[in-house]
Structure 1
Amino acid sequence: MTDNTCVQCGAVAPPHDVVRVASPDGAFRLLCSRCFNIEIAHLAEVRAFEHPEFTPVRLHDADGVVREFHFRSLLFGDQRSLEAFELPFGNEDCAGYRFQLLGDPQSDPFELLGDLVQKMKRALAFRHLVEDAGHLVVAETTVRGRIEWDGDESGRLPCVVIDGKRVNWSEFGAMLMSFEGWQFRIELLDPSDEA
């Protein structure tokens, strides 16, 4: 039995398509997204919930690099979440782009997919980091990214993912030093919001 085996149906799912679910006794179960959705649809009394299977999509980023995205649809009772994952390479579990949109549980999943792909294209059109003398630096004056767990720091400090690249906290701080004396504003957004 592998780490990604659904305890409900026995299917081995890819890492991005499993959900750890807490049981009433405090134990955790690993479910594939299909079994998770069946369980939530039953609990939330959502009738005829459609669990779609989407083919991965390849999109070009601002540098012309082709990026492949895999999708997961989850039912959260009164909302459907559609997420896109660029799968990480090597040991960088938190690297890669991720996107999410929320919709009505009865909404057409393919319409939501179209909206998500448009959101992804808008985000991929911008570079927030550029290379200068062998180092990554902030391209302009705005940086958008995602906060992630940094296993190297044992949870003491986060890492950030910018332009699909994992950047540790001290590297990010060094990037900001070129703006010494400037003001800044941090705005935290839900993953489903437009950044």
Structure 2
Amino acid sequence: MTDITCDRCGALTPPHDVVSVASSDGPFRLLCSRCFNTGMAHLAEIRAFDHPQFTPMRLADADGVAHEFHFRSLLFGDQLSLEAFESGTHEEDCAGFRFQLLGDLQSDPFELLGELVQKIKRCLAVRHMVERSGRLEVAGTTVRGRIESGGNDDGRMPCVVIDGRRVDWTDFGRMLMAFEGWQFRIELVDPSDEA
């Protein structure tokens, strides 16, 4: 993935550490998380905000496959968002694991990191899909993932990301046909909550 130049400080920044921000004159600007947090601290009149940075970390999933995560912290007024993005995935195909945890401004960022790592470990320990005879199937009776844009022209069809893997909406429908006649429950959960 190609680094992106921050529109404020000019630093070359990895895509996972860039925030698209609306500007007062209309167009969106791409800011590194440090510049975003500096601006948010100014708006919230927070004088002593220290922008935390974390070293990438490798964690294994239920099959023993290691996934490398990069972290980003964002200041949202009185809350600190800590996010983890799987490296080696491409923004345009929306694949890969992503996690978020919210804490209050007074939270120790390293304690939040510890909580986020535990959340990641819990999620990686469970498989929701399996591949049998070259076809994806639901592993049990529960599927957890996230909804993303399907990337089609009209932007109306989603895709889902399950176990860090992008699944087209049509393919997801085929996976569900194994449960034809069953009832289902859809619960939409904020990314910072436990799914």
Return the TM-score normalized by structure 2. 0.95
Give the superposition deviation at 1:99.
0.3
Partner Cα separation in structure 2 for residue 117 and residue 69 of structure 1: 10
Q: Which residue of 2 aligns with 1:54?
A: 54
Q: 1:90 to 1:15 in 2, by over 3 A?
A: closer
Q: Is the 8 A contact 2:96 2:161 kept in 1?
A: yes
Q: Secondary structure at the match of 1:152?
A: coil
Q: Is the 8 A contact 1:86 1:97 kept in 2?
A: yes
Residues 86-107 of structure 1, C-alpha deviations (whole Å, 9 max, x = no match): 0244675300000000001221
Q: 1:78 to 1:148 in 2, by over 3 A?
A: same
Q: Which residue of 1 aligns with 2:161?
A: 161
Q: 1:55 to 1:3 in 2, by over 3 A?
A: closer
Q: Secondary structure at the match of 1:156?
A: coil
Give the superposition deviation at 1:133.
1.1
Partner Cα separation in structure 2 for residue 164 and residue 111 of structure 1: 25
Give the superposition deviation at 1:50.
1.6
Q: Is the 8 A contact 1:88 1:95 kept in 2?
A: no
Does residue 1:133 correspond to 2:124, yes or no?
no
Runs (4 or more) in structure 1 with deviation over 4 Å come to none
Q: Is the 8 A contact 2:81 2:102 kept in 1?
A: yes
Q: Secondary structure at the match of 2:141?
A: coil
Q: Secondary structure at the match of 2:96?
A: coil
Partner Cα separation in structure 2 for residue 62 and residue 3 of structure 1: 31
Q: Is the 8 A contact 2:67 2:87 kept in 1?
A: no
Q: Is the 8 A contact 1:88 1:94 kept in 2?
A: no
Return the TM-score normalized by structure 1. 0.95
Q: 1:90 to 1:34 in 2, by over 3 A?
A: closer
What amino acid maps onto 2:85 in structure 1?
A: F
Q: Is the 8 A contact 2:95 2:164 kept in 1?
A: yes
Residues 46-100 of structure 1, C-alpha deviations (whole Å, 9 max, x = no match): 2311211110010000000000000000001111000000024467530000000
Give the superposition deviation at 1:152.
3.2
Q: Which has the higher strand share?
A: 2
Q: Which residue of 2 aligns with 1:7?
A: 7
Partner Cα separation in structure 2 for residue 90 and residue 53 of structure 1: 22
Q: 1:153 to 1:181 in 2, by over 3 A?
A: farther
Structure 2: runs of 5+ lacking an equivalent: none
Q: Which residue of 1 aligns with 2:142?
A: 142
Give the superposition deviation at 1:28.
1.1
What amino acid maps onto 1:99 in structure 2?
A: F
Give the superposition deviation at 1:27.
1.5
Q: Which residue of 1 aligns with 2:96?
A: 96
Q: Which residue of 1 aligns with 2:31?
A: 31
